[in-house]
Amino acid sequence: MKSITTKSIDHLVSQVSKAGEEREACTSIDPEGFFLRPPPTPHHLSSFITPDEQLFQTIHMGAAVVDDAKWLLVVDGLVRKPFALSLAQLKALPETSVTSFHECYGSPLKPPNSNPWRIGNVVWTGVRLSTILALAEPLPGARFVWSEGLDHGKFFEYEADRYQKDLPVTKAQRPEVLLAWKINREPLSKERGGPVRLVVPGWFGTNSTKWLCRLSLQETRAPGPFASILYNEEDPTDPEGVRMRPVWEVEVNSMMTKPADSDVISAGLVAVEGWAWSHDGVALVEISKDEGQSWIRGKVDNKEDQAWQNFTAAVDLERGVGKLITRATSESGMKQPLTGRRNHVHSITHPRSTTWSALPIMAPFEPKFTNEIQQMMFVAGETQEIANETAALVEQIVRDQIIHLVTKAKELSTRRGEKFIAIKDILFQVRHDTARMTRLQNVIRWKRLRREARKTTNEKDKPENDAEDSLSDTDNAAEDAAKTTAEASAALMPWDEEFMFGIRPPGGDADTVQISEHTRERLVWADEVTSKMSGEEYIKWCSYRKASFHRAKEARFREWAGIGVVADLRKKDDAIEILGSIAVEMVKRLTDVALSIQAQEITTQGGKDNEAPAAALLARRQGLFLMSNPQRPAVDAGHIRKAFETTQMKPKRRGYQPNRVVGPKRLELI
């Protein structure tokens, strides 16, 4: 094979001195034989980009150990210019990246009726296969590209001297098909098929040959057992069921990542979320709560590159509902089957089911804080009279999220081996929301300051003779306390609870400054929202702004939040104050978003009659309590549902983030 030079790509193509030289790069197979690392359960696959450690692994005959210095890619067959490339020469070609879902078909020895959900979404980096084919100049008779890997050995009763697959030239020339040497911006490991593997986005992983060493263009399909015998199935489009087809294109599929099997959900509106994917894109995802008798349409993100697509929905669950089902429809109109195929629908069921996932269903929801909700919504800007049904829906949504928060807090406390949840278990879940964290820290500071003030008052109320007898002891105790506080502050670490939430964290005066700044912000806000109030509204506002879930009714709030059922909490624990504060913020946030949605609807409807109420709504941040406009109706349940869906939507992703730290999914609080 002679060396050739192409003008379009400035590099020298190598010579191969003897047939089969490319296979000498494999020094051993380690480990030998079939290997499978199953994926995590679906609710753990919450990241848009799947970390390498969470991506499934399937190795048929063992992992090839490759000497990079000896590695060669041979390109031959029905081409005008056969050649070989070293690893350095291959990487000198134009590099590109593709974000793509990556799915395993499952065992070719089992019937195609079980879905293992071996799926992930990763970033591949390498050179386009079409670039390689352009160098070789395929002949007119070339219809298939055979790909060969360096692995060899035995797969159950099948023995092969190489892993061999094929794909049509028309697919091989598509821009997303790569010869990849990186996954998620990192070099391919041995287990991932390094140093170079074929990647065929939109097709099952069996077609993405690992430890790639040879590409041969041929007129017919490959003769190896992994192409001619295994990974062929009955064509579901054949009514007679006799025609076979290769396992190539990924059929439309979906899975739920939320709710999870560990979630406790109550009857009412529940957020459902997950991923959907297909070789040709997903156009629709539906959710059923009645075994497929009826379907609720979800919202599906647009397809980005070759990646999977996020879907969200809000489902109103009734008591006794034990199963949720998701069904995706591809852009070509293909629907997921309910049973009988590997891409059958994904379901989540209650504990009595024998399937993998369970959802404990709590008692039916009953409104307990209707008056408080209406007052909180008034403070948030809805000065019209709120219907009881609307307030009940707001309460139901907030309660579901608080229970979810408590459930996750229980998981964290269990990991520490503690029976009771604590403040840090709640705050850990909102640690990424800086503004919310600051507000909650101040809630804790004021709570503890009030507690210290009460202690001081109680000390002053002691009889005078006791005070005189213990005067010297008190002075000494004060000095000791000051010294202890100073020493503790100096020893605290930034992750210690006392550092974050203590009354006197390290820095001393900085705490006073922060509290003063928080007080100033609250005063400015109060001045802005009350500046255009009527006297009657101002009186209401002053009274309603004290509305809460937990003050003077802590027992009712504990039951409402699932304390004692979902998780245990010590009596008089400040965590209940945090949960109550978060719940109030949720009500105000839902109200604010619902008012914005209503304003947009009024504006869209058009007409001069609608201009005044729309302007009043849109200007509420400059004066929340403008004079009530009788022409504008109060927000209703429809606005609240849309507001909830809006708060659950994720921001549009803009490609892979190389420095992103992948961790547990953040709780999406309202």
pLDDT reading at 140 higher than 90: yes
Can you tell me whether residue 529 is helix, strand or coil? helix
Instruction: Lowest mean pLDDT of 2-6, 359-363, 372-376, 518-522, name the range.
Output: 2-6
Return the minimum-mean-pLDDT range out of 49-58, 338-347, 503-512: 503-512
Q: Is the dihedral of CA 160, 164, 165, 169 positive or negative?
A: negative
**Maximum average pLDDT range among 25-39, 164-178, 229-243, 541-555:** 164-178
Task: Go through the domains of the chain in sequence order and give each one's CATH number.
Answer: 11-246 (3.90.420.10), 253-350 (2.60.40.650), 361-451+518-605+617-626+633-648 (1.10.20.10)
d(CA 295, CA 313): 11
Backbone angles phi, psi at 175, to 5 degrees: -70, -20
Residue 6 pLDDT greater than 60, yes or no? no
Euclidean distance between CA atoms 471 and 277, whole angstroms: 75
Which is nearest to 150 in space by CA: 25, 302, 9, 296? 25
Return the bridge partners of 182, or none: 125, 187
Report in angstroms the alpha-carbon separations of 322 from 291, 350, 353, 484, 592: 10, 5, 9, 55, 33
* Residue 67 confidence (pLDDT): 95
Average pLDDT over residues 251-259: 88
Task: Output the pLDDT for position 220.
Answer: 95
Structure tokens at 270: 């529940």
Residue, of 44 and 467, whose pLDDT is higher: 44
Q: How much is the average pLDDT of 246-269?
A: 79
- Assess whether pLDDT exceeds 60 at residue 489: no
Q: How far is CA 40 from the centre of its chain?
A: 14
| Exposure string over 367-400, b if 16+ CB within 10 A, otherwise e | bbbbebbbbbbbbbbbbeebeeebbbbbbbbbbb
Yes or no: say if 331 and 280 are a contact pair by the CB < 8 Å rule.
yes
Is the model more confident about 62 or about 538? 62
**Cα 349 from Cα 351, distance rounded (Å):** 7
Of 117-121, 202-206, 556-560, 663-667, minimum mean pLDDT range? 663-667
Query: Lowest mean pLDDT: which of 109-123, 210-224, 546-560?
Result: 109-123
pLDDT at 648 > cutoff 80: no
Predicted local confidence at residue 141, as pLDDT: 95
Would the pLDDT of 61 be above 60? yes
Q: For residue 264, what pLDDT band results from cuts at 50, 70 and 90?
A: low
Higher pLDDT, 244 or 448: 244
Contacts with 352 (C-beta within 8 Å, 6 or more apart), sequence order: 322
- Count how many Cα atoms sit within 13 Å of the Cα of residue 50 in the half-sphere of its side chain: 27
